[in-house]
Every structure is written in structure tokens, then in C-alpha cells.
Structure 1
């Protein structure tokens, strides 16, 4: 859904929808934030991919939810589109991220590779198509296909085509997205033949790479696996720890989004890191300095982001209302957008055509309620994590001058739910989300 500039409060929701800026909207809405973030990972990824044409780069792209990773990847996609065939796969849109099974990633890659071959009119050899047909009609796979009506004519002896196989894997992917029972079938029936599927995936990559060089002059292929940072923590660890060797067997360039909690988990991260060529982090946009003073550069950048999407000078009754939203967002773009949406809705509820002080207060309280629900007892198997422990950690960090924290399990949880945020200002540092500081003050834990 394309973004549209909001000239009135009625159109605020569409201007601040919770989606990354699409490639076609980047010129109008994208704002370069590298100097404020302290790092420019998209530039580094572009150089790595361009300067190493003979290697398969497997890259982890880490960062907090809502910090803008998807938009940065869309920018990278646009920058490389003349040199690479870029397949940007959203796990959130195409699969069920809450119940994701790693096998589904290979199924969707096969689908998208076949679709790309069809769309770009790339000729895939008959020998290769037949080899995939043999896999698809093997005893185990055929048993699944018949039960869920997936074969689509593959076993009927007619002329085999690239589009037919694209539809076949598309049906597999869609059934896995909508059926929990089918996910179990994947593990019992498809997993024993997974090595063959990975081989077919790599052979298809090779076929496409040859055709790209002949047909379009593009140097290589790039697959972006988006939203892997948004799957539940237990599945994220399972995917990147238990199945990382399978995940990195794809013989082309792949970027995997990576959750902040695992990135900062020393033991787990070090075990995962060795499987990837590079890891890049996207820090939060810094709206305060390490000493707590407002970052004028960060404030100005966030104002530019907002003013690219709405007539802020007219729709905020007082410019300080926007500045307060920016400061309390902690640099989390998602939270800033949510506050603006809520404030606009509240204003409309009461017949106002500008955002007033009471609308900002309603938005502030709404976001505070969301974060308050994140600080609660949590049970993981036999282990109980108590809310009091979370509050002690948050209070200590909020009062700390060093702004450093030990990466305990509790801290990993607080990073995952954005109660603790990471910044870069010459060196890495952390702080408590400003909304959470307000919660601590409500509890008389902070002055």
C-alpha cells in the first residue's frame, strides 16, 4: 500500500501505517539517518556484495523491532537492482511467523526463484525441471501432495513448465501458512528429503545465475529473508542455532534479519556468528545523548521524517507536542508513528482538526499502557522470571551514568520487548525506553 502525504488528520493513519517504505516511495519519504545512528550498514552491505562477486555472502542484519531495518533493506534493494536480481521475501507476509518451521524457508525460496524465472523470462533447462518433478512425485512428497491436493498436474505426464513448478511450491507455502497440521507433516514427510530439496534449490540458483549473465547482464542473485527478527524468541533461537548449517547451505547471497536479543546474547551469538560472513547492526536513531541531553541532530532528523509524511506545522497546535513525541519515542520509529496515529484519532473523536495537548497526553498514556504490559512475570518452561527483577534492572540502568548493562536472560527479554534500547555514539551504549522511565517514575522508582 503506497504512502500518501497527510494534509489533514483523517489521512494520518495511512501516512503512518506500520509498513516499511516501499521502493517506489523512497524518493519521497526516505531520510538518511546514518550520521545520527552512528553506523551505515546498508552502505557496507552494498560494498561487500559488489566487491566479492565470486563469493556467496551470508549476512546477518541485526537490530531492534521498529528501528527501520526493512526500509533500509528496501533502499539497498533499490540501489542494487541494476546489478543483482533481488528477491525480497517477507516472512510476515508470506508465512506464519509465529509457528515458522525452517523447512518453509526452502519452500518459499523455491517458489520465489521459479516466479522470478517466469517473470524475467529466464529459460530453465528441461533436465532440471524433470529432476524437480522426480522429487515432487517421490513416494513421501506425493503422499503429502495427494492428501493436501498440491500436485497441480505434476504427475500427469504433460509438458512440464517453470510456471507449473512455481504454482506447486506456492501451494506448499500457502498450505504451510494456514495449517498447523501441515507443519507437522513437513517435519515427518519432507524433512527426510530436505537434502534433495536444498540441492534442487542450489541447482535452480545456478540455472538462474547463468541466464542472468546472458540475458540481462546482472552480476548475481541476492535473497533477502525479511522479518526473521520478528518470530518468537524460542523459534528464533531454534532456527539460527539448531538449523543454521542447513540455512546457510544456499549457494548465493542471502541477507537474514536477526533479532536484537540474540545479537546481544554473548554465548548464543558467538556460536551462531561463525556460520555467517558478516554481521551488521542498525542502531536506534539517537534522540538523546548518553548524558541524557537532547540530541539536536536526532530531533531534527525525526522532525524531517514526520514532515515528509504530514503537514506537521499545521496539524500540531504547538510544535513542542511533536518534539515531546519524538523524545518519548526513544528513537523507535514504530512508537513515534503509533503516538501520532493515536493523537490524531483522539483529536478527531472530539471534533478537533489539530493535535492538542490532551491528544498528545492520550497518545502518551496509550503507549505507556502497552509497555506496562511488557513488565510482568514470565514463565519459560520451569523457569519463572519475575516482574520485580525486570524493574530492578530497568531502575539501575536508568540511574546509571555509564549506560552499560550485563546481557542476562532478563535483559534479553527487555531488549526483545524494547524496554531497553541500544545506541551508538562513538561507542555502543544502552538506555531504558523513555516511556518505561515514565512507568518507573509512576512507581516511585525514579525521581
Structure 2
């Protein structure tokens, strides 16, 4: 076994972790310049908020790079605003997220960030706020007091309980279910203290709300969007792109945010319908961007150039899928190196073929008859028969169907699934 080859592929495999680029060193090492127009859109909505309390919806397919873009956006404006960026997945069990604990998480993270940056809040005020947090999580009040007294960071303790303790979450829900205005008033008080001390307006960015199940998203945004819009400072919320296909929810979001919805589109590999033609050529600008993503993660001697382009095409323009395919290729190569003591191996078309088969099987095993009919219609018409059909929304949410935006919005089947549909005799591919 070539130790050097093994280490090179191990490094590439590590570089292909499915994580957003949040830290400055990660940005410098891996970020590819794109999405500047979206950052400009977000910046305009934040900067030009008439009352300083705009609520912005940011959406796009899972894995299209929203988290990385939000991190870059927050980095660019951090000198002008008191920015609090956090992932809801890090703060609350995803199956338990509701509008009340989203707002409570905002309060906790505002206060935690103020402490981390040593914002000068009067000690008596600070102690009153700590007491408020403690009494609102009084399910284990005695233990909480004891732990705080022996030196535990109270906010970290409360944050951990919010994440892991269902009893605490239930306590918070019962406390504020009928008096949400009390919770909002306390959030506004914390934000006002921060703004007075720092001379900066507050901007809260909540990531990963787009990863919630669609049913939970409906409950949060359909029934409680007004509550989420009550804090009197700027907030950016993320949502799944499938939610915008629901007319009722989309109308509510548009109304409550004054149409401040920013969509991060999937990068188009082909113009609409061009991938159906023999010898179709992908868009060079997309190949360049996504090719550079691979170049920053995989040493050039480990991958054939034509295979890298095919990985880009199979991704459908979704960063998450690009990384997933490349990572699976690395897994196969690492197994081969250990099994065969290979001195020379690269990611070529044969390795890619094996990776695509594995991912295609993972996709296909969950498809029912209704799903296949929808995929067939999308492939033929570039739009479903019913864009509000729950099964279609699930396919969109799960990346089986990809949404593209040009002068019009259109859809296509994930490239990896097209071969599967062809084998089933559902579609005919030239």
C-alpha cells in the first residue's frame, strides 16, 4: 500500500465533509467566489430597512450553499451591525422546534453574544435578565441554581437544556403560549441594551430552519409568522424552498415580510432542455465554479479532468450533491488502496460509475408509484402537473427534483435519477 497515496485520499476525504464554511480559515481554504449578487440583495434589504426591523426570508435547495453564504454575509457586515448568527439545529432538537423556542433561542443567543463580546450592560440589569432566564427554565430550578452557584456559565447551561431537555422546552412553551408578547418584550429589551452599549443595530440570522420537516415548517410559518415578526430588530429566517410552492404560506410570508424573500438558486448546468440533446454542452461558467470547488478539495493528481466535469454534471448544480458524489468516489478509492495495495489509483470514470450507482440506489429505494409519475411529468414538461401536491413538495425538499430560475422558474429531475427512470422504461433518453 502506498502510504503517500492513502494520505492524499484521506486528506481529500476529510476536505469533502458536508459542512458549511463558517470559520475564516475554512473560507480562505475552500470558498469559491460566487453568490455576490445574493449578498448584495441581502445587504440592500438589511441596510434599507425603513424602521430597522425588517424580517427577511432566505431560501433555496438544501445544500445549495446558503449557510456558507450567510456566514460570508455576516462576516462582511459585522463592523456595521451587532450580528448574531446561529444554527437552530445547534440549539434545539429539530423535531421539537416551534415558534416559541425559536424566539427563546434568539433571546439566549443575543445575551450569550453580548457576554462573549463583553458588552457593557449594567450589572443589576444583567442579573435581572439572568434571573428571568433561570425562572423560565424552572423545571429543574433547584439543580439549575446549584449548578450556577458552583461556577457554571448560566447561559451555556440554559442553552444545553434548551437543546436536550424536553421538560425545559415544555416549560417554556407553557409559559409563553398565551403571552408571546411578554417573551418578545424581553427580547426587545436585550436588543435595546446591546444597541445602546455598542451603538450598532442588531441583526439576527437563524440558519438551518430550512432543514425542518415540511409539516413542522407549516406549523411554524403558517400559524405563527406574526409572532416571529414581532421583535423590533432585523432578522433573517431560512425556510425550505418547497414552502414557496404552497400558495397560502407563500402569501403569508410575502405579506408579513413586505415581499422580502431572497432565493438562492441552483447553479444551472444546462439551459432548459439542452441536456436532452445529443452532445449537449454544459454552461462553462457553472463548470468553472463547481470545478474550482473540487480543485480546492481534491489534489489534481487524484482525479481525471473529464471525470471531474462529469461529477459537476451529475450534481445538478447543487453543491451538496457535488460534495457527496466526490466523497463517495474517495471512499471507493480508499477501500481499493487498502484492499489491493494499489500504488496508483485516481478517480476516473469507472470509480465515478460505482459511486453514482450507490447514490442512485439510495435515491431510488424510496420512490413509490406516485413519485415516479411525478418525476416522469417533470422530466417531460419541466414542471409538475400540480406544484402544490404534497408528494411533489417532498421530492423537491429531498432533491429528487431540482428547481432552476431564469426568466421563468422550471424544474428537472436530479441527473442521477434519470438513468434509473430510463431503466424502468418511464422515460426515453436520446
Instruction: Please tell me the TM-score bracket, short chain as reference.
Output: 0.7 to 0.9
**Is 1:58–1:253's contact at 8 Å kept on the other side of the alignment?**
yes
CA distance in 2, matches of 1:325, 1:68: 17
SS in 1 for 2:230: coil
CA RMSD of aligned residues (A): 2.6
Give how far 1:153 is off. Answer: 7.7
Query: What are the within-5 Å matches in structure 2 for residues 375-386 of structure 1?
Result: 375=367
**Is 2:401–2:411's contact at 8 Å kept on the other side of the alignment?**
yes
SS in 2 for 1:243: helix
Which piece of structure 1 moves more, 106-115 or 431-440? 106-115
The counterpart of 1:303, out of the listed 291, 297, 314, is 291
CA distance in 1, matches of 2:31, 2:133: 43
**Is residue 2:392 matched to residue 1:392?**
no
The counterpart of 1:79, out of the listed 76, 93, 102, is 76
CA distance in 1, matches of 2:287, 2:137: 58
Q: Which residue of 2 aligns with 1:216?
A: none
Go from structure 1 to structure 2 and tell me whether the alpha carbon gap of 1:111 and 1:190 turns closer, same or farther (over 3 Å shift): same
Give how far 1:133 is off. Answer: 5.3
Query: What are the within-5 Å matches in structure 2 for residues 153-302 of structure 1?
Result: 167-192=153-178, 194-213=180-199, 219-277=200-258, 278-291=260-273, 292=275, 293=280, 294-302=282-290
TM score, norm. by length of structure 1: 0.84
Give how far 1:131 is off. Answer: 4.5
The counterpart of 2:362, out of the listed 350, 370, 374, is 370
SS in 2 for 1:40: helix
SS in 2 for 1:322: helix
Give how far 1:305 is off. Answer: 1.5
**Is 2:134–2:141's contact at 8 Å kept on the other side of the alignment?**
no
Q: Which residue of 2 aligns with 1:45?
A: 42
SS in 2 for 1:254: strand
**Is residue 2:423 matched to residue 1:442?**
yes
Give how far 1:403 is off. Answer: 4.7
**Is 1:64–1:418's contact at 8 Å kept on the other side of the alignment?**
yes
CA distance in 2, matches of 1:433, 1:358: 21
Deviation string for 1:337-368 (max 9, x for gaps)?
Answer: 11111111111211244213332122101211
CA distance in 1, matches of 2:376, 2:405: 21
Q: Which residue of 1 aligns with 2:3?
A: none
Give unmatched runs, 5+ long, in structure 1.
1-5, 157-162, 214-218, 376-386
CA distance in 1, matches of 2:412, 2:214: 22
SS in 2 for 1:60: strand
Give how far 1:419 is off. Answer: 0.9
Give how far 1:68 is off. Answer: 0.6
Deviation string for 1:355-384 (max 9, x for gaps)?
Answer: 133321221012112211342xxxxxxxxx
Deviation string for 1:418-438 (max 9, x for gaps)?
Answer: 111111223222111111212
Give how far 1:99 is off. Answer: 2.3
Q: Where do 4+ consecutive residues of structure 1 move more than 4 Å?
A: 402-405
SS in 2 for 1:274: helix
CA distance in 2, matches of 1:135, 1:338: 44
Query: What are the within-5 Å matches in structure 2 for residues 87-166 of structure 1?
Result: 87-126=84-123, 128-129=125-126, 131-132=128-129, 135-136=132-133, 141=136, 143-146=138-141, 149-151=143-145
CA distance in 2, matches of 1:87, 1:275: 22
SS in 2 for 1:222: strand
Give how far 1:185 is off. Answer: 3.2
CA distance in 2, matches of 1:229, 1:43: 21
Give how far 1:221 is off. Answer: 1.6
CA distance in 2, matches of 1:348, 1:76: 36
Give how far 1:413 is off. Answer: 1.3
Deviation string for 1:277-308 (max 9, x for gaps)?
Answer: 41000000111210224222212221111112
CA distance in 1, matches of 2:55, 2:372: 38
CA distance in 1, matches of 2:385, 2:144: 51
The counterpart of 1:360, out of the listed 352, 367, 386, is 352
TM score, norm. by length of structure 2: 0.87
CA distance in 2, matches of 1:152, 1:437: 60
**Is 1:290–1:403's contact at 8 Å kept on the other side of the alignment?**
no
Give how far 1:95 is off. Answer: 2.1
**Is 2:137–2:168's contact at 8 Å kept on the other side of the alignment?**
no
